[in-house]
Amino acid sequence: MLDKTKRDWWKSAVFYQIYPKSFQDTNGDGVGDLRGIIGRLDYLEKLGVDGIWLSPVYASPHKDNGYDISDYRAIHPLFGTMADMDELLAEANRRGLTIIMDLVLNHSSDQHPWFLEAKSGRDNPYHDYYIWRDGTPDCPPNDMKAVFGGSAWTYVPELGQYYFNQFSPWQPDLNWENPTLRRELYDMIRFWVDKGVGGFRLDAIDKLGKDPDRGASGNCPRLHEYMRELRREAFREDTLVTVGEAWGTGVEEAKQYANSDGSELSMIFQFEHTFLDQVDKWGKIPLPLVKLKRCYEQWQHGLAGRGWNSLFLNNHDLPRIVSRWGDDGTYRMESAKMLAMMCHGMQGTPYIYQGEELGMTNIRLSIEAYDDLEIKNHFQEELAKGRTPEEIMPSIYTWGRDNARTPMQWTGGDWAGFSTVKPWLPVNPNYMEINVESALADPDSVFYFYQKLIALRKRYPVFRDGSFTLLDPEDGSCCAYTRDTAGEHLLIVCNFTAEEQPEICPEAFRGAEVLLCNYRDAAGPLRPYEARMLYQKA
């Protein structure tokens, strides 16, 4: 077990993201809950992870599944009670599993008492907790768009003012310029730290510093000042792990957020690798592997010794990686394992999203069956542009966030063992084949491959410390790299195609020990989606 009293312990850790609504239902209402998570801690212990990132469980109208918080110090009754949360923290901590809570500091729900007060009058003390501009009903301050569609400005007739909402009208942006608001947020964070929470994932953190009058939504001047204040006032303990979600962030900016002097955050989630096969959010092009490799190389080199990377392929906003970059048909198992190795071999802290360790896949639903507000708004906006449902649906099958949010597949039984009733979002029909029960019974399962990757990371320091060297950058079929320290050498070779590819094995690794492979042996040409990991002591 990791020594979590050590500063930077999280550099050796692996985290697991739970989307509570879809993880495990225990009271038969079709929605996952905290008791469900408590009941599955054994499973996470078996996988070998060190901590859990818990997507929001706070009180919320759930316009955006909890990313619209109406009380930061209360648990949503759907998920249970504060006593359940205390029990989860105690049970998790007892097993050495750190709980990282999701924290939405950029905006609140429009049902938060602060906002209800704020919109009750311009003179109300809470008015300044949000961002307002004067205007007339048909003339918003500018043409900034909200992430989930429509304008980023919503009119409140009683005030003759617009409020600023970068995501949706139900998620008004908080005014970080206001020191009283900031103080209130820091106190709230201390409330959770005092309860035993070991860290936070900071939602949309790049959007905290904003300059709506310039049309700018992210990475604005005061942002890093806020990060340092957060660290000083709220994240006081050196051992807390903090990971900021920052979609629009490049390497230079990341060096600041995640700088090794520890004055801001532990690390950020950056998304450059997730944009390469995407055009205008809803369009898909084939994965340009050469660009992907260059992208990883840039991040691995950029943060080496100066910051820290997070490593991930999936989360609750992204499609399932095996459907996206792998093959979710014939080579589902092989490609899921290959992608896992490619990701977990690099320097940084890996995050596994629930079901990724089973090789769970995307889903196709009728438009009525989807839940996500982004999907629904997109569908309506495209219809209004004159496109037909047949033209729109393929982009939703590819990018829709509900791909990642279908219930966790535990068994081949009713509702995949997730619930005893029809769940809030349909179960993927492939649950009879893809589920935890069968994965645990099969020594070759994707689950055990992840388990091995996690164990290897714990065993060999080269995973944490090794320098990264990309091999054959221009090879568009395979991704190969080495990790090196003075005493250890690691080689990772991944075939991204369904065809055989020539062997890749630098001289120095001839006869090296095979640490892991997704086929029975690791010799000769690379088979479809083959992944090999070789190890050599210096």
Residues in touch with ligand TEU (CB under 6 A): 64, 67, 104, 147, 167, 203-204, 245, 247, 316-317, 374, 401
Whole-angstrom distance, CA of residue 454 vs CA of residue 49: 7
If one asks whether residue 371 binds Ca ion (CB under 5 A), the answer comes out as: no
Catalytic residue check, 245: yes
Q: Which stretch binds Ca ion (CB under 5 A): 17-25, 149-157, 175-183, 398-406?
A: 17-25
CB of 317 to ligand TEU, least distance (A): 4
Which of 50, 102, 110, 245 is catalytic? The answer is: 245
Please, which residue, 245 or 356, has the CB nearer to ligand TEU?
A: 245
Q: For residue 215, is it left (φ>0), alpha (ψ between -120 and 50) or beta?
A: left
Task: Enter the DSSP assignment of 461.
Answer: T
Task: Enter the DSSP assignment of 202.
Answer: E
If one asks whether residue 420 binds Ca ion (CB under 5 A), the answer comes out as: no
Please, which residue, 17 or 309, has the CB nearer to ligand TEU?
A: 17
**If contact means CB under 5 to 8 A according to the sort of partner, which of ligand TEU, Ca ion, none does residue 31 touch?**
Ca ion
Q: How far apart are the first and last CA of the chain?
A: 27
Please, which residue, 64 or 530, has the CB nearer to ligand TEU?
A: 64
Please, which residue, 104 or 512, has the CB nearer to ligand TEU?
A: 104
Q: What Rg, from alpha-carbon coordinates, does the chain have?
A: 23
If one asks whether residue 39 binds Ca ion (CB under 5 A), the answer comes out as: no
CB of 207 to ligand TEU, least distance (A): 8
Please, which residue, 167 or 496, has the CB nearer to ligand TEU?
A: 167
Whole-angstrom distance, CA of residue 114 vs CA of residue 505: 60
Q: For residue 9, is it left (φ>0), alpha (ψ between -120 and 50) or beta?
A: alpha
Q: Which of 15, 17, 25, 217 binds Ca ion (CB under 5 A)?
A: 25
Q: In 3D, which of 229, 223, 203, 202 has the Cα closest to residue 211?
A: 223
Whole-angstrom distance, CA of residue 440 vs CA of residue 436: 6
Q: Which of 2, 4, 27, 48 binds Ca ion (CB under 5 A)?
A: 27
Whole-angstrom distance, CA of residue 214 vs CA of residue 371: 34
**If contact means CB under 5 to 8 A according to the sort of partner, which of ligand TEU, Ca ion, none does residue 33 touch?**
Ca ion
**If contact means CB under 5 to 8 A according to the sort of partner, which of ligand TEU, Ca ion, none does residue 415 touch?**
none
- Residue number of the CB atom closest to ligand TEU: 67
Whole-angstrom distance, CA of residue 479 vs CA of residue 257: 28
**If contact means CB under 5 to 8 A according to the sort of partner, which of ligand TEU, Ca ion, none does residue 104 touch?**
ligand TEU
Q: Dihedral of the CA atoms 320, 69, 178, 218 (nearest 10)?
A: 20
Q: How far is CA 29 from CA 55, 277, 381, 417, 427, in A?
A: 19, 38, 32, 13, 15
CB of 29 to Ca ion, least distance (A): 4
Q: Which stretch binds Ca ion (CB under 5 A): 21-29, 212-220, 373-381, 510-518?
A: 21-29
Q: For residue 194, is it left (φ>0), alpha (ψ between -120 and 50) or beta?
A: alpha
* DSSP run (H or E) holding 354: none
Please, which residue, 407 or 466, has the CB nearer to Ca ion?
A: 407
Q: Identify whether the C-beta of residue 436 lies closer than 8 Å to the C-beta of residue 409.
A: yes
If one asks whether residue 31 binds Ca ion (CB under 5 A), the answer comes out as: yes
**If contact means CB under 5 to 8 A according to the sort of partner, which of Ca ion, ligand TEU, none does residue 204 touch?**
ligand TEU
If one asks whether residue 85 binds Ca ion (CB under 5 A), the answer comes out as: no
Q: Identify whether the C-beta of residue 431 lies closer than 8 Å to the C-beta of residue 39.
A: no
Which of 50, 173, 203, 317 is catalytic? The answer is: 203
State whether residue 323 is helix, strand or coil: helix
Catalytic residue check, 86: no
| Active centre residues (catalytic) | 203, 245
Residues binding Ca ion (CB under 5 A): 25, 27, 29, 31, 33
